[in-house]
Amino acid sequence: MRLIKTFILRLYTDPEQREQICGDLRALPGHKTFPFKNNSDLLTLLHRLVNKEVKDLPMTAAQDEKDSDLS
């Protein structure tokens, strides 16, 4: 079973600091926005949001998929 998550990513750049990227991330279908200030904040945020979704998946579905791969 694969988890597919859709995000809206908005990036903002400062013309004087082009290497600095900031913005916000919205995990659909909700309306809550998560801001980030740099690349590492964005990666941390993505990992947190995806891991939260994976943790909420039922274990039986993952086990059933493993069993079908062995057949």
* pTM for this prediction: 0.63
Query: How many domains does the chain contain in total?
Result: 1
In a domain, 55, yes or no: yes
Q: How far apart are CA 2 and CA 11, in angstroms?
A: 27
- Give residue-wise pLDDT tens across range 15-61: 888 888 899 999 888 778 999 999 899 999 988 888 876 666 565 54
In a domain, 37, yes or no: yes
Find the domain containing 47 and state its range.
7-64
In a domain, 1, yes or no: no
In a domain, 71, yes or no: no
pLDDT of residue 62: 44
In a domain, 48, yes or no: yes
* C-alpha gyration radius of the chain: 17
Q: Is the sign of the CA dihedral 9, 17, 43, 52 positive or negative?
A: negative
In a domain, 49, yes or no: yes
The candidate with the shortest Cα–Cα distance to 29, out of 8, 56, 52, is 8
pLDDT of residue 31: 77
